[in-house]
Structure 1
Amino acid sequence: MHKLKLAVGLGAVAYFATVAVVDNFDQQLSESRAEVGIAPSINALSADAFAIMNNNGCAYCHTSDSDMPFYGQLPVAKQLMDSDVERGTRHFNIEGMMTQVREGELVSELELAKLESVLDDGSMPPPLYLSMHWRSKLSSEETATLRDWVKQERMRHHINSAAKNDFKYDAVQPITTEFEVDMAKVELGNKLFHDTRLSGDNTVSCASCHSLATGGVDRLTTSLGVNNAVGPINAPTVYNAVFNSHQFWDGRAADLQAQAGGPPLNPLEMASESWHQISEKLLADEDMQQAFAAIYDEGITEHTITDAIAEFEKTLVTPNSRFDQFLRGDEAALSADEKEGYALFKQHKCATCHVGEAMGGQGFEVMGLKKDYFAERGNVTDVDNGRFNVTGDPADMHRFKVPTLRNVALTAPYFHDGQAATLEQAVDQMAYYQVGVKLTASEISKITAYLETLTGEYQGQLLQ
């Protein structure tokens, strides 16, 4: 018994001594980060939020370049800490958010939703981490401050939010943004979007894969190009693409114009030999030549063609869905099941990634965050690498742009590989692979019913 007490006593001494060392390092690390400084213009609430996230050690596991204590290089400790960092950054890398806060920039709605999510379920910091980092536990006052900060930042995105008070601070907002456009360019871009001369054999247009009559997609598993060449990936909708932070599933295009420049020369899509070939065909059309000359001094070039198409695509916004009407205060716009579906959508963390007016498009997430999607699906190809193909960063392996959910009932099949044939199947698999939850048939039905209310209007007419 004496030996047991001695062992317990020595263990306790060792534990408290280790905690003291860790605490001392935590304090030094927080002070060094604070010395980086924040923008003088940052408001008090943002400064408080930054201090809380800095002082409570969020950067330990949620950044890829955090300073680690000396014991982080010791056997076992290193493996455990490396695993924690890999898992933490896989779910939520806060480097960008911390920089945005420190510099007073607009913080990503996606990252605001992730922070709000862990505040709601109290999952951060986890118990094992707190066992060694006592100071990192969020107090009720700190939690309240972070919640208030999330609301403040969300309102910076939606200054003129049309949502009624119950939904004013939700991660999802009704579509209200109106994009300024040059109507002459829009008219020209509309013609070019539907012009098959952008393809090598004059058979395929942008609208071939992104038909405005079928939800902005072709409703194929993967798209078909010139001579029915089979593409490797499912065509995302062109509707509401203007809200996306990047274009394409892997985000290789920074904006709509860069995206418009990709398919014409892709051999599996429009298969033109060069922009010179395309320009020569359009130059032979006197009306087209005059249309370009009236807008662009340089005439018909790659830049002017893609600029006009991008300007047209800015107009492909679909507001006034039944869900938008509900958020604006029309209780009768949704049925009881549809309202419950929205509640389940939020309960099961769907609104953590599908945020903002477009309900998606603001960032990239790992496909199979909780369960290994690709191991279970099999037949993995290069296209399944996702964002990794653009950045080369191992942390981006299998990471894809979060798609918009607007008009989602019209855009089957789903996912980058088109493997979910129905909306019900997509709901079931997203909950399983991304959230780690197995939904009941009733839950799937109600969430699906809710998603069907997201179909909006284009040019005043409800999409079909």
Structure 2
Amino acid sequence: MKPQSWLFTFIGAGAVAYLGTVAYIHHFDKQETQRRLQESQITDPQQRAVETVLYNNGCQYCHSNNANMPFYAKLPIASSLMEKDIHQGQAHFLLDNITDYLNQPQRISAADLAKLESVIQNNEMPIHSFKMVHWGSDLNEQEKATLIDWIHKVRQEYQLPANTSGTSVERFVQPVPQSLPVNPAKVELGNVLYHSTALSGDGTIACASCHSLNTGGVDNLATSTGIKGQKGGINAPTVYNAVFNFAQFWDGRAANLAEQAGGPPLNPVEMGAENWQQIVDNLNKDESLKQAFEKIYPEGFNEKNITDAIAEFEKTLITPNSPFDRYLQGDENALTATQKNGYALFHQYKCDTCHTGTNLGGQSYELMGLKADYFADRNKPLTEADDGRFAQTKNPYDKHRFKVPTLRNVALTAPYFHDANAQDLTQAVEMMLKYQSGVSLSKEQVSDIVDFLHSLTGEYQGKPLTNENIQSSQSTK
């Protein structure tokens, strides 16, 4: 046989093998979709349509923990390639966070909706290598519309702040409302308790010691100083707008503000009280406070009532009317040209898929180092604080995942990250672009993003929020 004949035979055999494999995989995909849909408990037509689109297009193969993989996933070369794709896919986004809660859409995070909408808008999924063997896995226009319509409905019903102008279902970020419903009497008591050193073991530390309202809700230290001069292990997040977070603390160990308020008083490094009875005894020494407290809480001081009052006060620590909020509400002149460009870059590089919602953050746990190994480059020993969400779940998937911090008032809250590794906003932006977005931008572009971040400083009690630490340091230069 002539060499050309061998070549044509080889090419033909390869084509037959490829087409046969593709045909098998197409059949497998259809069967897998049918199996999942038959096992599903979803009955709502719109939710069912969303589920069908996601499974029909094979999203579960790279973005689910419980996917039934096709045969080629076990082949040596294919296995190594797929393992890499699956690892990266799951690091970015878990489909289970959508499909498991289709019939409980209030539990789906703003971040997961933003990520899904972003890849649809940018035609980024599925990746080319997947489409080569999963023919028909591209989303068609009707499928895109099905997903986008559902995303906007969920955002409208569960995620837009109430009684707030400038909201939009088509945007990932939203303005801060002017106020939230609170009990004024509880707020007054909570304010007193928030600033009371009676909650600490030796009467020296208050909540406000590390989260002063005059310093951006933080202490501007790498780690806070607790009782007897002890140093904490992690950077203190701001208390401003914490009410908008889906969980509290970097590792999410508190489900709400009241649970968060109950942690530091008994922490031996932070406030160091022996138990709640010691705190109650300390507070009962103030007869006027005791009487005022019992008018609102007849059973008097206890852990539940103390933390409830502090949480009610913290609901008032919101900062509306930032230049960015005014821009979202229609004031085109609220942002400068560079800030507008910074916002465009912020969206282009998907910063708003994690720093999303009203708080521009606080809606999900994300891996620190999606695009590069942050902890290896940091060149510092790992600590317990670096475990992130893993400290609570013990799930390897959660290693180095942290609750995304808010960007509200971020110009006032340096240093940045859980380990305070970024000293200023320029450094923080450059590091986030490298480790989370996988890009390097020009100095001018980074500067524009920093300018945009400055537009996120809002007002507290009708006045622009300031930080006396920053003011005093600038006055000495």
Deviations 1:307-363 (A, max 9, x none): 111111111111111111111111111111111111111111111111111111000
Q: Does the C-alpha gap of structure 1 residues 201 and 159 become closer, same or farther in structure 2, counting only changes over 3 Å?
A: closer
Residue in structure 2 matched with residue 220 of structure 1 by the alignment: 221
1:236-255 superposed matches below 5 A: 236-255=237-256
SS at 1:414 equivalent? coil
**Which amino acid counterpart does residue 430 of structure 1 have in structure 2?**
M
* 1:136-285 map, 5 Å: 136-156=137-157, 157-158=159-160, 162=164, 164=166, 169-176=170-177, 178-285=179-286
Paired residue secondary structure (1:101): coil
Structure 2 residue runs without a partner (length 5+): 467-477
1:160 Cα deviation from its structure 2 partner:
5.2
Equivalent in the alignment of 1:12: 15
Distance 1:129 1:71 in 2: 12
Q: Does 1:441 align with 2:404?
A: no
How much does 1:137 deviate? Answer: 1.2
Which residue in 2 is equivalent to 1:410? 412
Contact residue 64 and residue 85 of structure 1 kept, 8 A: no
Letter in 2 for 1:241: A
Of 423, 428, 431, the residue aligned with 1:429 is: 431
The within-5 A match list for 1:284-303 is 284-303=285-304
Preserved contact between residue 161 and residue 168 of structure 1 (Cα < 8 Å) = no
Letter in 2 for 1:15: Y
- Counterpart position of 2:69: 68
1:159, 1:301 → 2: CA distance?
A: 32
Counterparts of residues 318-397 of structure 1 (less than 5 Å): 318-379=319-380, 380-397=382-399
Shift of 1:38: 5.0
Once structures 1 and 2 are overlaid, which stretch shifts more, 19-28 or 156-165?
A: 156-165
Q: Quote the residue 2:36 is aligned against.
A: 33
Q: Contact between 1:199 and 1:270, CA under 8 Å: does it hold in 2?
A: yes
Partner AA of 1:95 in structure 2: D
- Alignment CA distance shift 1:24-1:73 (3 Å): same
Counterpart secondary structure, 2:324 = helix
Aligned-residue offset at 1:14:
1.2
Residue in 2 aligned with 1:57? Answer: 58
Does structure 2 retain, via aligned residues, the 8 Å contact 1:50–1:102? no
Structure 1 residue 248: Cα displacement: 0.3
Amino acid at match of 1:17: G
Structure 2 distance, partners of 1:131, 1:38, is 32
Tell me the alpha carbon deviations over residues 144-171 of structure 1, each in whole angstroms, 9 at most, x when there is no partner: 3323333333222227575559x66210
- After TM superposition, the structure 1 stretch with the greater mean CA deviation from structure 2, 50-59 or 217-226, is 50-59
Does the C-alpha gap of structure 1 residues 105 and 227 become closer, same or farther in structure 2, counting only changes over 3 Å?
closer
Conserved 8 A contact 2:166-2:175: no
| Distance (Å, rounded) in 2 between the aligned partners of 1:353 and 1:177 | 23
Indicate if the aligned counterparts of 2:166 and 2:174 stay in contact, CA closer than 8 A: no
- Looking at structure 2, the residues matched to 64 and 231 of structure 1 have their Cα atoms a distance apart, in angstroms, of 35
Q: Deviations over 1:53-92 (max 9, x none)?
A: 1211111111111122344344444443333322211110
Aligned residue for 1:365, secondary structure, equals: strand
Task: Return the offset for 1:264.
Answer: 0.9
* Percentage of matched positions with identical amino acids: 52
Matched to 2:238, the amino acid is T
Gap regions ≥5 residues in structure 1: none
Separation of aligned partners in 2, 1:162 and 1:185: 24
Q: Is the contact between residue 162 and residue 328 of structure 1 (CA under 8 Å) also seen in structure 2?
A: no
Instruction: Name the CA distance, whole Å, in 2 between partners of 1:117 and 1:325.
Output: 24
Distance 1:277 1:303 in 2: 15
Per mean C-alpha deviation after superposition, the further-off stretch among 129-138 and 63-72 is: 63-72
**2-structure distance, mates of 1:60, 1:186:** 49
Measured in 1, the distance between the counterparts of 2:95 and 2:450 equals 31
- Output the CA distance in 2 between the equivalents of 1:340 and 1:259: 37
CA deviations on 1:31-70 (whole Å, 9 max, x unpaired) are 1111234544x353x4432221121111111111112234
- Structure 2 counterpart of 1:262, one-letter code: G
Deviation for aligned residue 1:225: 0.5
Contact 2:161 2:358 in 1 (8 A): no
- Relative to 1, partners in 2 of residues 1:145 and 1:39: Cα closer, same or farther, differing over 3 Å? closer
One-letter code aligned to 1:6 = T
| CA distance, structure 2, for counterparts of residue 103 and residue 258 of structure 1 | 24
| 1:190 Cα deviation from its structure 2 partner | 0.7
| More displaced stretch, 216-225 vs 378-387 | 378-387
Cα distance in 1 between the residues matched to 2:34 and 2:259: 42
Counterparts of 1:456 and 1:354 in 2: how far apart (Å)?
17
Q: Does 1:313 align with 2:320?
A: no
2:458 to 442, 456, 459: 456
How many residue pairs match? The answer is 461
Cα displacement string for residues 432-463 of structure 1 (whole angstroms, at most 9, x for unaligned residues): 11001112110111111111111111111110
Task: State the one-letter code of the partner of 2:401.
Answer: R
Provide the secondary structure at the position in 2 that maps to 1:437.
coil
Question: What TM-score does the superposition give when structure 1 sets the normalisation length?
Answer: 0.95
Whole-angstrom distance in 2 between the partners of 1:451 and 1:5? 61
- TM-score, normalised relative to structure 2: 0.93
